[in-house]
């Protein structure tokens, strides 16, 4: 097995809705290993760096504001093809269209005042994972 690593974030909506345990349980049930874990309210600098690829997009500022609105849980997660595997567990970006069986499809709510409440973040490539892990677990 190739031990790959990814960054998972449980976003403020997930923590506020007391879904931390359920989400971490899905990761562990799949067979992945949580090797580091932190709860924090991320500062703007960290979030701007984390979401650098989206800077300039219309949803960037609301996204950064939302992500800093309360505690998030950051997890370093290890496993075989875990980057792709966690994206698969998370489901599509929009909870409305995310497949049932996924975290976002089963638990996510993108209606109401915000469309960014999709519970989790997962790195999208090996390069992103390495960059993001060094930001969140410096
Ligand atoms: P993902 O989180 O599935 O990797 P992404 O990297 O494209 O999605 O976007 C980062 C976050 O930004 C996403 O989780 C929710 C928010 N977002 C993405 N596209 C959006 C849009 N069109 N309008 C509002 N928010 C958006
Ligand atoms: Mg992304």
Here the CATH number for the domain that contains residue 87 is 3.30.70.141
Mean pLDDT of 71-87: 98
Q: For position 28, what pLDDT does the model report?
A: 98
pLDDT of residue 2: 67
118 is in an annotated binding site: yes
Selected catalytic residue, list 50, 54, 80, 121: 121
Q: Read off the pTM.
A: 0.97
Q: Interface pTM (ipTM) of the complex?
A: 0.96
Q: Are 119 and 108 in contact (CB under 8 A)?
A: yes
pLDDT band at 102; cut points 50, 70, 90: very high
Q: Which two tokens stand for residue 36?
A: 């580091």
Whether ligand 1 lies within 6 angstroms of the CB of 118 is answered as yes
**3-state secondary structure (DSSP) of residue 137:** coil
Q: Is 134 in the pocket of ligand 1 (CB under 6 A)?
A: no
Token duo for residue 75: 């997890």
Give how many domains the chain has, as a whole number.
Answer: 1
Contact status, residue 119 vs residue 13, Cβ threshold 8 Å: yes
Please give the share of the chain, as a percent, with pLDDT higher than 70.
99
On whether 18 is known to bind a ligand per the annotation, the reply is: no
Mean pLDDT of the chain: 96
Q: Does 131 show up as a binding residue in the annotation? A: no
Q: What is the largest CA-CA distance in the chain?
A: 43
3-class secondary structure, 40: strand
| CA 124 to ligand 1: nearest atom | 4
| Atom number, ligand 1, closest to the C-alpha of residue 92 | 3
Known catalytic residue at 121: yes
The range of the structural domain enclosing residue 89 comes to 4-136
Q: How far is the CA of 93 from the centre of ligand 1 (A)?
A: 6
pLDDT of residue 79: 98
Q: Which residue has the tokens 């975290």?
A: 103
Q: What is the pLDDT of residues 26-38, one digit of tens each?
A: 999 999 999 999 9
With 0-12 / 13-18 / 19 or more C-beta atoms within 10 angstroms meaning exposed / middle / buried, residue 135 is: middle
Q: How far apart are CA 21 and CA 44, in angstroms?
A: 26
**Is 54's pLDDT higher than 80?**
yes
Q: 98's torsion region: left (phi>0), alpha (psi -120 to 50) or beta?
A: beta
């Amino acid at each position: 097995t190739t031990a790959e690593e990814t960054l998972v974030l449980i976003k403020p909506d997930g923590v506020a809705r007391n879904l931390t345990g359920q989400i971490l349980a899905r990761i562990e049930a799949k067979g992945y290993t949580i090797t580091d874990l932190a709860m924090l309210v991320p500062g703007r600098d960290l979030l701007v760096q984390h979401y650098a690829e989206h800077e300039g997009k219309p949803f960037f500022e609301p996204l950064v504001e939302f992500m800093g609105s309360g505690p998030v849980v950051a997890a370093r997660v290890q496993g075989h093809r875990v980057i792709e595997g966690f994206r698969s567990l998370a489901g599509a970006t929009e909870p409305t269209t995310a497949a049932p069986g996924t975290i976002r499809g089963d638990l996510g709510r993108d209606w109401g005042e915000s469309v960014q409440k999709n519970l989790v973040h997962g790195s999208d490539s090996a390069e992103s994972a390495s960059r993001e892990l060094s930001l969140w677990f410096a």
